Structure 1
Amino acid sequence: MTSGTYTLLIELPEATTITFGAAGDRELAAGVYAYTGSAFGPGGFSRIDRHRRVASGEHDARHWHVDYLLGHPGTRIVEVVRSADADIECAVSQRLAGEPVEGIGASDCDCDTHLVYGGRSEAFLDEVRRAHASARND
């Protein structure tokens, strides 16, 4: 199993309020969000398959903050960017210029968030790819 850092690009089709478990409610605008996580456990990048199952409604468990967004009706994963064998989760998140969703996905580090709103810009995917590349080169 390959492990490393990944970023899910998640499309939210309409504005809504989502309760992220103990982190509470967040009002989210329609558009694309980037959630950056790490997969260094025994399953490695198979964690991404689990995220896809939550987004498709095949899996109901809410273990991580991102599960609450993925489990919302209509959300879908539009792209996944991976950096194999690179522990760059925080560095990637901090490089994204979008609007941070405070307190989400970063409970095990000193970051404010690992979920960033990128609006409706198609350039956001390129920004995520550049963030992975530049973090790998640090």
Structure 2
Amino acid sequence: MSGPALPSSGPEESTGEAAPDAPVSRLYVVLTRVPRRTRLHIGSLGEVTMQRGWFAYVGSAVRAREARVARHLAARKPLRWHADYLFTAFPAERAWLVDGAAGECELAGALAALPGAERRPRRFGAGDCRCAGHLVYFVRRPLRRDLAAAAHAAGAPEKGAVRAFGRRPASS
């Protein structure tokens, strides 16, 4: 079974030439909506309560970032990461590629610092680090400009760091 078509991300935007040994941030943010409060099994986290609202998952991929995001957007997939459990129950609605931010933990922290946002549930997506988690809850849908402000706070350039990846096709 084939997944969603990968949209062209276009040429990489740059504010100048980076040093060859400069670290490259390969982050992404996937957004989903949970329409009602529900209990959900999330792999190693077990049963968690997901509040009604919007959730932004911050992830990274050293290679094949676009393929990783497309996997999150796919309706069917093996359940491997915490995000797989969430996006299987509540399909991802939107995704962005983020370049230049320090890392997943920093970007999740910057998103959680936005008004009305918080990391929830604790440790979601943070199996390989010690941060509070990579999933950020919002009562209201976060806007691209919110993500851009958080990315900038996490070290990304002010312009050109956040690019839309595409939308998950609507189910019929």
Normalising to structure 2: TM-score of the pair? 0.67
Corresponding residue number in structure 2 for 1:112: 132
1:92-129 deviations in Å (ceiling 9; x for gaps): 0011231212021011111121011111x234543222
Structure 2: 5+ residue stretches without partners = 1-8, 13-24, 158-172
- How far, CA to CA, are the matches of 1:10 and 1:70 in structure 2? 7
Between structures 1 and 2, the one with greater helix share: 1
Higher relative contact order, chain-length normalized (CA < 8 Å, sep 6+): 1
Residue 66 of structure 1 and its aligned partner are, at CA, apart by 0.7
> How large is the Cα RMSD of the aligned pairs?
2.3
- Structure-2 change in CA distance of 1:112 and 1:123 (3 Å): closer
Structure 1: 5+ residue stretches without partners = none
| Corresponding residue SS for 2:65 | coil
Larger Rg: 2
- How far, CA to CA, are the matches of 2:144 and 2:122 in structure 1? 21
Asked if 1:27 corresponds to 2:27, the answer is no
Q: Which one-letter code corresponds to 1:23 in the other structure? A: L
Count of aligned pairs between the two proteins: 130
In the TM superposition, structure 1's runs of 4+ consecutive aligned residues that sit over 6 Å from their partners are: none
Normalising to structure 1: TM-score of the pair? 0.82
- How far, CA to CA, are the matches of 1:85 and 1:128 in structure 2? 13
